[in-house]
Amino acid sequence: MSQQTVLVSQTFSKPVGEVFNFLANHNNLSKVFVLPVKRIKDGLTEPNGIGSVRRLGPAPFGVEETVSGLVPNELIEYRITKNGGPIRNHNGVMEFGETPTGSSLQWTISFNAPPLLGPVIKAGLTAAISVGLKRIS
């Protein structure tokens, strides 16, 4: 297994709260990834909060991610909890900040994958997230 890290940074002309609220809502992520994304389990205290689960892709094959950390307007942390295939130890972190003209997002994903497949997955995720975030900026 090889360790891979995806890092995508994006600025937005929208306020940090608006960007955070959009990306925190699991059902909005279809606009970023261009595949079905649906919240399948509500969080412990709020629908998209800690403990909530989203499925990326069609059932029953979609990857399931669980929110493991959330600080409003600052941070969303999640991990793959089902159907990760060859991906292991997947951890995603979305860090939000204010800028003089709006807001910023730094999206970091780290994971382990087989040596030949890891770089391909990394490149695919980097491209998909970069293009997807431009759709909502």
Q: Is 133 exposed, middle or buried (0-12, 13-18, 19+ CB in 10 A)?
A: buried
Burial tier of 103 (Cβ tally within 10 Å: 0-12, 13-18, 19+): buried
Reported as a pLDDT band with limits 50, 70 and 90, residue 136 is: confident
Q: For the segment 89-102, what is each residue's pLDDT rounded down to a tens digit?
A: 999 999 999 999 99
| CATH 3.30.530.20, applies to 2-24+65-136 | yes
Q: Where are the domains of the chain?
A: 2-24+65-136
Q: Residues 31-52: what's their mean pLDDT?
A: 95
Query: The pTM is what?
Result: 0.94
